[in-house]
Amino acid sequence: MTNWSNARLSRLFGAGRCSGPPFPLRSVSRSAGFALVAVIWTVGLITLLGMAVIVGARYRTKVASSYASVLAAGTAAESAINLAIATALTRTGEQNVKFPLRCRMPGGERVIVTVEEETGKVDLNTATAAVLARFFTALSRDQSIGARIAARVAEFRDRKSDQSKGRIAPPASDAPAPRFTTIMQLDQVDGIPPQIFREALRFVTVRSGRPEPDADAASPALRRLLNLEEKQPAPTRGLPIGGNVTIRADVSAPDGARFIREALVSLASDDGRPFVVREWRRGDIESRPATSTASRDGARVLEGGCIRTGEAIAS
């Protein structure tokens, strides 16, 4: 009886061991592998998204900081120009304000303010063909290109006059048709490369009325370009009593940002006003950094505050 029971139990347990588990082991292992891969991919994706958010936040912060710095430098440039105008209007016999003016604004920005008389520039409306050709040849360093640009400038400024002559009815007024009203219209002349356009802006005007620049008022750079007679100009010039001038403020912020603003100003205008700002322009930043602590002869220039209590000063 006992042997029979033992044999039966052995067959029973042996059959159970051979029958295997109720679910296949291979299927369970495959499901576990898929779950592990899904978890790894999910963790990696979350990590990448987190890094993207962090990098994006840093970039936006940097851009916002840079924009705020440029905006502050632009505001300082406009303030420096207004300071130069106020200095010209309120100066007395004892004051001897000379330009370029080098000083520091209350925010720590270094400022160089220069004054350029429009009579010392090439007038796009009244300059002779020879002056235009010599000027653009010097900028382009090619005689044929300079002559072609000069011819197109002359064609542009005479275009409206030619159109008015072709009308059936005469113009309502005998005043000359408007030609160049701003130097920025030079970009509308066909055939001017962007580089020459940017270089020409510093030397051209529409408010001189002269066939050629005044050598006494011209900048040294323009005198070299046009081979004008050297007349030993003063190293610094004050603001003229009247006429049209371009006031240029070159601002360098403490964090390295730089901004240049220009204003075309008419002093003692014809309508009786002490001054009129004809045009605001953003100046082109040269590749050479501004040197605010050295004069033309290399001597050191001490920088003081642009604004003090009750007065404005110059270097």
- Bigger pLDDT: 167 vs 241: 241
Nearest of 189, 205, 111, 103 to residue 153 by alpha carbon: 189
Domain co-membership, 142 together with 282: no
pLDDT digits (tens, 9 = 90+) for 143-163: 999 999 999 999 999 875 555
Best mean pLDDT range from 53-57, 235-239, 308-312 = 53-57
The answer to whether position 30 is within a domain reads no
Domain co-membership, 184 together with 140: yes
Other Cβ atoms closer than 10 A to 222? 21
pLDDT digits (tens, 9 = 90+) for 300-310: 344 677 765 44
Domain that holds residue 138: 122-167+175-212
Domain co-membership, 135 together with 264: no
- Bigger pLDDT: 25 vs 262: 262
Please identify which residue in the block is written with the tokens 């066909």. Answer: 190
Calpha distance 187→207 (Å, rounded): 18
- Bigger pLDDT: 50 vs 58: 50
pLDDT digits (tens, 9 = 90+) for 30-52: 677 777 778 888 888 888 888 88
Other Cβ atoms closer than 10 A to 279? 15
Domain CATH for 289: 3.30.1300.30
| Tokens representing residue 237 in the block | 């010039």
CA 242 to chain centre: 29
The answer to whether position 309 is within a domain reads yes
**119 confidence band (pLDDT: 50, 70, 90):** very high
Domain co-membership, 147 together with 193: yes
pLDDT of residue 95: 52
pLDDT above 60 for 4: no
Domain co-membership, 73 together with 112: yes
pLDDT of residue 237: 55
Collapsed DSSP state (helix, strand, coil) of residue 112: strand
Contact 265, 85 (CB under 8 A): yes
- Bigger pLDDT: 207 vs 163: 207
Q: Which helix (H) or strand (E) holds 279?
A: strand 275-282
The answer to whether position 21 is within a domain reads no
pLDDT digits (tens, 9 = 90+) for 270-285: 778 889 999 999 887 6
Domain co-membership, 72 together with 142: no
pLDDT mean over 106-131: 93
Amino acid identity, residue 179? R
| Tokens representing residue 309 in the block | 């209590």
Domain co-membership, 196 together with 276: no
Domain co-membership, 156 together with 191: yes
The answer to whether position 277 is within a domain reads yes
**123 confidence band (pLDDT: 50, 70, 90):** very high
Domain co-membership, 159 together with 94: no
- Bigger pLDDT: 219 vs 315: 219
Domain co-membership, 157 together with 206: yes
CA–CA–CA angle 4, 10, 16 (5° rounding): 140
pLDDT mean over 71-81: 89
The answer to whether position 103 is within a domain reads yes
Average pLDDT, the chain: 77
The answer to whether position 75 is within a domain reads yes
pLDDT digits (tens, 9 = 90+) for 161-185: 555 455 444 444 444 555 899 999 9
pLDDT of residue 303: 62
Report the percentage of the chain scoring pLDDT > 90: 36
- Dmax over Cα atoms in the chain, in whole Å? 142
Q: For the CA atoms of the chain, what is the radius of gyration? A: 38
Domain co-membership, 92 together with 139: no
Q: How many domains does the chain have?
A: 2
Domain co-membership, 114 together with 248: yes
The answer to whether position 143 is within a domain reads yes
The answer to whether position 110 is within a domain reads yes
pLDDT above 60 for 81: yes
- Bigger pLDDT: 57 vs 152: 152
